[in-house]
Amino acid sequence: MPLSTQSQGDDEQYVLVACSDNARNLSNILKAISFKDHAIFTATPNGLRVTVEDSKCLQANAFIQADIFQEFTIREDSVTFQINLTVLLDCLNIFGGSALPGISTVLRMCYKGYGYPLTLFLEEGGVVTVCKINTQEPEEPVDFEFCSTNVTNKVILQSEGLKEAFSELDLTSEVLQITMSPSQPYFRLSTFGNSGNAHYDYSKDSDMMELFQCTKTQTNRYKMSLLKPSTKALALSCKVSVRTDNRGFLSLQYLVRNDDGQICFVEYYCCPDEDVEEE
């Protein structure tokens, strides 16, 4: 069978080989950004970056460092391809993606280069699955030019604190309004729905607040439909950093810990809604 008998010689024809003794480490983090079918994979010696975009207004990136994998070999400076993420996730979870201890799917992911499919060898309990997922011409991801020097306001929260608010968000509201301010209300999430307006306030002294760096009062609205997918990342994460820059662009960075305690990052960028009412 491919996993056991594949010699090292075979690997030389691949430009990218990544192996993990737990496919969940990859599939879990990809679930956090799976809101559209198409995902752009960019591999560098540092690891993998997977990008998913919606309407040129929302971008999600998952970063999986090379050391998350037991083996990560790349023969070029950078390898890029586009793939159907939903299909990839189904393949990675072919054995059910059980979270039971002691049962894990071993993964070997190989890519021969431009025009070739992404090949996955998965093994669990002596059963081997081989998947060949066709790759597509990669699209150029949007550069949101979100630069840390232009950040106006930043807070870091324990994800627990945001999960409740996000799970109760009034989805009849078209937008989510985020207010960040050095004075009251400090950090406020607002919705304007059919049954009224709702505000979630977080004091800067809250236990959930790990860092509070707000320099200027800023109120921005973001399309609820765009932000909703980020709930997936929030659910998996333990901390989240919320930042806005001088243009009102939003950056959400999630710190996600996998089954083995290793850390990965997921990042969402979102454009503000057009008709912003400045205070």
Partner 1 sequence: MKFRGKIVDVACLNHFSRVVTTISKLTKMCVLRLTPDNLFFVLSGKVGNGGVSMWCELSQANFFDEYQMEGVSSEDNEICLEVTPENISRALKTVQNAKAVKVKLTKKHCPCLTVIAELPTLSSINRVVTHDVPVDVIPQRLWHEFKEPDMPDFDVSIYLPPLKTMKNVVDRMKNLSNFLVIEANLNGEMNLKIETDLVSVTTHFKDLGNPPWGDDASQDAGPSQSRDPDTMAEARVDIRRLQQFLMGQQVTPSRAMCNIVHQRVLHLILLHEDVSLQYFIPAVA
CB closer to partner 1, 1 vs 211: 1
CB closer to partner 1, 90 vs 210: 90
Cβ(238)–Cβ(256) below 8 Å: yes
E runs forming strands in the chain: 16-20, 38-44, 47-54, 58-65, 71-74, 79-84, 106-111, 118-124, 127-133, 151-158, 175-180, 187-193, 196-202, 209-214, 218-223, 237-245, 250-257, 263-270
SS3 15: coil
CB closer to partner 1, 107 vs 189: 107
Judged by CB under 8 A, the residue of 9, 125, 195, 207 near partner 1 is: 125
CB closer to partner 1, 127 vs 171: 127
Least distance between partner 1 and beta carbon 260 (Å): 22
Of the listed pieces 130-138, 141-149, 181-189, 240-248, which binds partner 1 according to CB under 8 A? 130-138
Residue type, 129: T
Residue type, 253: Q
128 touching partner 1, by CB under 8 A: yes
Of the listed pieces 127-135, 164-172, 190-198, 249-257, which binds partner 1 according to CB under 8 A? 127-135
| Cα–Cα distance, 138 to 144 (Å, whole number) | 18
DSSP string covering 207-270, please? Answer: TTEEEEEE-S-EEEEEEHHHHTTHHHHHHHEEEEEEEEETT--EEEEEEEE-TTS-EEEEEEEE
Cβ(161)–Cβ(206) below 8 Å: yes
115 touching partner 1, by CB under 8 A: no
Judged by CB under 8 A, the residue of 44, 129, 225, 241 near partner 1 is: 129
Least distance between partner 1 and beta carbon 9 (Å): 22
138 touching partner 1, by CB under 8 A: no
Q: Tell me whether strands 106-111 and 118-124 are parallel, antiparallel or unpaired.
A: antiparallel
Of the listed pieces 49-57, 126-134, 241-249, 267-275, which binds partner 1 according to CB under 8 A? 126-134
How many residues touch partner 1 (CB under 8 A)? Answer: 22
| Cα–Cα distance, 123 to 211 (Å, whole number) | 43
CB closer to partner 1, 68 vs 133: 133
Interaction mask 75-114, partner 1, x per CB under 8 A = ---------x-xx--xx-xxxx------------------
**Binding region for partner 1 (CB under 8 A):** 1, 84, 86-87, 90-91, 93-96, 117, 124-134
